[in-house]
């Protein structure tokens, strides 16, 4: 029997988030799905109890209203999946400051805002926080540096939160999927690289990366792996998803940085 019954998911209308919502509904969970876009109920799995709440998680007032609704309908949360996010591709030195802030606002700052608001409910249930990070948190690809930096921040937050929240019985876990075939690829924001400075390196690197993503793991399999980790009796704060990506993460941990950076440059530079 699935031990966790009351769950909140951000970014639950597409990709990994929607797959998580579907699997949780199949397990008869009460699921609160926060996303900018709402889907027809028929778009999700039958079973469970789904409450969709339209919310831009970067909007403080919208978040306040969303959690008002959550607090009215439940007094505890067993799981929080902080999954909402997006990516910017482009040359770091040519990315406008407002875009840098936006990348971190969506992927990092808003995750903290959601966790902060959910804490009373998580504390009551001794719940768990699952942050959707990425292998890119460890393997920083050229022309995707901002995305990598934002996901690395989530890893560090998970490590710190896991220690800070231990007295409250709440655990934090960052999961690092690799390439996953989702609408995330098509929704990536591409900032134009000055061709005089980078030639075709930037568009070619991004194109190769997106090809890998489209051939990646299915969101359903990824969601299953995430839920399996969430259910572990004594979970670690950081997990790579899938055998091949765990090997990659191990290699980047064990091999000299000069070697791993050279390999990344060879493939994507």
| Residue 26 belongs to some domain of the structure | yes
Residue 195, pLDDT score: 57
| Catalytic residue list contains 245 | no
Q: Name the active-site residue from 44, 147, 239, 245.
A: 147
According to the model, what pLDDT value does residue 190 have?
Answer: 65
Domain count of the fold of the chain: 1
Look up residue 188 and give its two tokens: 């990536």
Mean pLDDT per 10-residue segment, the chain (269 residues): 89 92 95 92 85 95 97 97 90 90 96 98 97 93 92 98 96 92 66 64 74 77 95 94 86 88 80
CATH number of the domain where residue 186 is located: 3.40.50.720
pLDDT of the residue at 155: 98
Do the domain assignments include residue 25?
Answer: yes
In a domain, 72, yes or no: yes
Least Cα distance to 173 among 237, 242, 81, 227 occurs for 237
Q: What is the pLDDT of residue 39?
A: 84
Give the separation between CA 123 and CA 21, rounded to whole angstroms: 22
In a domain? residue 143: yes
- Which domain range does residue 251 map to? 6-268
Q: Is the pTM of this model over 0.75?
A: yes
Q: What is the pLDDT of residue 194?
A: 57
Task: Please report whether residue 240 resides in a domain.
Answer: yes
| 172 in a structural domain | yes
Per-residue pLDDT at 186: 63
Predicted local distance difference test score (pLDDT) of residue 243:
83
Within a domain: residue 1?
no
Can you tell me which residue has the tokens 């004594």?
Answer: 234
């Amino acid at each position: 029997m699935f031990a966790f019954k009351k769950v909140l998911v951000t970014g639950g209308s597409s990709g990994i988030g929607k797959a998580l919502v579907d699997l949780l509904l199949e397990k008869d969970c009460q699921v609160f799905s926060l996303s900018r876009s709402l889907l027809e109920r028929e778009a999700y799995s039958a079973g469970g109890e789904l409450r969709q709440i339209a919310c831009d998680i970067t909007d403080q007032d919208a978040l306040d209203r969303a959690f008002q609704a959550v607090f009215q309908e439940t007094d505890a949360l067993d799981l929080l999946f902080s999954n909402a996010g997006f990516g910017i591709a482009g040359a770091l030195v040519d990315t406008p400051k407002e875009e840098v802030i936006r990348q971190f606002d969506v992927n990092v700052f808003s995750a903290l805002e959601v966790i902060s608001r959910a804490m009373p409910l998580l504390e009551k249930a001794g719940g768990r926080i699952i942050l959707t990070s990425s292998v890119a948190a460890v393997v920083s690809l050229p022309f995707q540096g901002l995305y990598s930096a934002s996901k690395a921040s989530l890893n560090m937050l998970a490590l710190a939160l896991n220690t800070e929240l231990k007295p409250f019985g709440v655990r934090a876990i960052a999961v690092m999927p690799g390439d996953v075939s989702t609408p995330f690829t098509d929704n990536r924001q591409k900032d134009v690289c000055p061709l005089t400075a980078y030639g075709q390196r930037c568009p070619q690197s991004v194109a190769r990366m997106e090809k890998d993503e489209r051939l990646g793991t299915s969101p359903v399999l990824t969601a299953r792996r995430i839920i399996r980790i969430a259910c572990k009796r004594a979970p670690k704060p950081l997990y790579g998803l899938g055998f091949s990506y765990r090997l990659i993460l191990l290699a980047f941990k064990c091999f000299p940085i000069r070697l791993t950076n050279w390999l990344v440059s060879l493939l994507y530079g």
